[in-house]
Amino acid sequence: MPPPILALALTAFALGTAELVPNGLLPLISDDLGVSVSQAGWVTTSFALGAMIGGPLVAAVTLRLPRKPLVIVLALIFLIANAITALTGSLVVVSLSRALAGAMLGGFLGIAITIAGGMVAPTRRATAIAVVFTGFTVSNVIGVPIGNIVGRAAGWESAFWVVSGLAAVGALAMWLLLPGTSAGGDGAGEDRGFTVLRSGALWTAFLAIALSYGGLFVVYTYVAPYLTTVTGVAAGSVTWLLLLFGAGLIFGNTLGGRYADRSVSRTVIVILGILILGLLALWALGTVLPAVLVLLVLLGGAGFGMVPPLQSYVLHIAGTASALVSALAAAAFNGGVALGSAVGGLALNRAPHYPVLALVGASMTLLGLILFLFTHHWHQARRATPQGDPVVQHA
């Protein structure tokens, strides 16, 4: 794989680490900021909202800007936002800086996918895009646990300094390795990206993504207090248990992509079914440590295994892979993170009983599955939609 694409993957690793690293540190953040754990959940919610809303806006307003300086600037703004998060002691300022960082993530992913896809032959385009997302995925296995270890040892703020350092390395790598005129993002592709937004099926698919993915984050946002209060795990062990979730994440992401090449719709249905059953099992067996260990792997695999097939399905409906459509797909997933964490916080405010989160999450993912089935039926009934890239034709 060309070194420039690896530079994009490295930056995606830094930005992905920032998104979820607070989840294992919420008790520390809530104590330091003087707020409840549910209020501290806004540290995750605001980042996801920034990616969901700001990401597509960044992609839309920068469609005609040179790609290399653009992704470097996005990484540097992201770095500054994380520094503000580390320096402030106010939940409001932390939430705003996290929203800014999230917007940079959402915009970067859409643009990076376009650059990566344009740097290789069409037969290797899906592989190049997968490499970029691998950086984002691996961040949850390596970056998040390391951030949690540093955060517990030297204060939660130190985790964000680590993320800022990673972003600086990523920006330097892109400056050194990306060609002066990055491929991708031609005008025709961009115009087509705006045109497909008229598709009702595309928007219902985005909503299905948000609901399906959000069901996982009703629980995962509050995984640290869940494990300590329900399962009885020592606070210092939470970081290591998150490695199990991360292992499932890589396994599910790989299998999800492989089986999506055979049938996107069937893969989505099976994975969402597994996620629903896994969340229900967590509700029933949350106090049994061996069961929870297995379920962490299962939930990580199902939660992130849905990403490749659902991304493929959106591209199948849209018939384009422009930076705008890619950013909107990323926005839908981040919308799920925001929705899930916010709903989880509301559930805790109404009933401060952590097992209820698993029931709420299963219900949300079930709604996402129902909406996906509706969208798929709608799209099948309107076969006039262009088939798009052959990589994503197996719906």
Q: What are the structural domains, with CATH classification, of the chain? A: 1-184 (1.20.1250.20), 186-395 (1.20.1250.20)
Say whether pLDDT at 263 is over 90: no
Phi, psi of 261 (to 5 degrees): -65, -25
Position 356 scores a pLDDT of 92
Name the nearest CA neighbour of 391 among 204, 127, 1.
127
Say whether pLDDT at 214 is over 90: yes
When mean pLDDT is compared across 138-147, 167-176, 358-367, the lowest value belongs to: 138-147
Place 298 in a pLDDT band, splitting at 50, 70 and 90. very high
Whether pTM exceeds 0.95? no
**Average pLDDT of 258-281?**
89
**Average pLDDT of 198-209?**
86
Say whether pLDDT at 238 is over 90: no
Residue-wise pLDDT for 52-110, tens only, equals 888 888 888 887 788 889 999 999 999 999 999 988 878 899 999 999 999 998 889 87
Could you write out the DSSP letters of every residue in 87-141?
H---HHHHHHHHHHHHHHHHHHHHHHHHHHHHSS-GGGHHHHHHHHHHHHHHIII
Q: Which residues contact 69 (CB under 8 A, 6 or more apart)?
A: none
**Average pLDDT of 289-304?**
92
Say whether pLDDT at 176 is over 70: yes
Position 183 scores a pLDDT of 47
Position 391 scores a pLDDT of 42
Position 250 scores a pLDDT of 76
When mean pLDDT is compared across 62-76, 169-183, 215-229, 366-380, the lowest value belongs to: 169-183
317 vs 96, residue with greater confidence: 96
Say whether pLDDT at 185 is over 60: no
- How far apart are alpha carbons 213 and 339 in whole angstroms? 9
For residue 322, the SS3 value is coil
Position 224 scores a pLDDT of 85
Say whether pLDDT at 184 is over 50: no
Say whether pLDDT at 1 is over 80: no
Say whether pLDDT at 386 is over 80: no
The amino acid occupying position 14 is A
Say whether pLDDT at 262 is over 70: yes
Say whether pLDDT at 195 is over 80: no
Name the nearest CA neighbour of 103 among 343, 337, 327.
327
Position 321 scores a pLDDT of 58
Position 43 scores a pLDDT of 86
**Average pLDDT of 231-247?**
83
The pair of three-digit structure tokens given for residue 235, joined into one six-digit string: 């606070």
**Alpha-carbon Rg for the chain in angstroms:** 20
Say whether pLDDT at 189 is over 70: no
Asked if residue 38 lies in contact with residue 194, where contact means CB atoms within 8 angstroms, the answer is: no
Place 129 in a pLDDT band, splitting at 50, 70 and 90. low
